[in-house]
């Protein structure tokens, strides 16, 4: 069930309409404290969807929302669940996104 929900939700994190992307990120931020470690099965799918484009966004609302989601993940999930997806993404990012994710890893 969780996979079905997030398979449908994930494209909203990449939507061509920036307002849709921002609202999706804000909704994700609200879901994380409720779902916590239950997100474990979908975390490898979610981290790239959250990070790709959004952490390097020139839109301040999207960037802030993505940063808040990453912070919520670090706060509410077992950090061992985040280590592999964060390391994988940090290898291939550039700019501010790479710096932000590297700081979270540290």
- Under the phi-then-psi rule, with left for phi > 0, alpha for psi from -120 to 50, and beta for the rest, what region is 53? left
Q: Is residue 21 part of a domain?
A: no
pLDDT of residue 32: 97
Residues 6+ apart with CB under 8 A from 50: 13, 25, 28, 66, 69, 70, 73
Q: Is residue 49 part of a domain?
A: yes
pLDDT of residue 44: 94
Q: Is residue 64 part of a domain?
A: yes
What is the residue-level pLDDT of the chain in tens, covering all 106 positions?
Answer: 889 999 999 999 999 999 999 999 999 999 999 999 999 999 999 999 999 999 999 999 999 999 999 999 999 999 999 999 999 999 999 999 999 999 998 8
Domain of residue 70 covers 39-105
The one-character DSSP state at 57 is: -
Q: Is residue 97 part of a domain?
A: yes
Do 6 and 45 touch, CB atoms closer than 8 A? yes
Q: How far apart are CA 5 and CA 56, in angstroms?
A: 26
pLDDT of residue 1: 83
pLDDT of residue 106: 84
């Amino acid at each position: 069930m969780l996979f079905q929900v997030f398979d449908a939700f994930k494209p909203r994190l990449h939507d061509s309409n920036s307002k849709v992307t921002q609202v999706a990120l804000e909704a994700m931020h609200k879901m994380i404290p409720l779902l916590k470690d239950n997100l474990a099965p979908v975390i490898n799918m979610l981290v790239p969807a959250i990070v790709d484009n959004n952490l390097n966004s020139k839109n301040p609302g999207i960037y802030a929302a993505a940063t808040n989601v990453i912070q919520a993940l670090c706060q509410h999930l077992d950090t061992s669940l985040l280590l592999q997806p964060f390391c994988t993404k940090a290898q291939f990012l550039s700019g501010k996104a790479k710096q932000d994710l590297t700081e979270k890893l540290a």
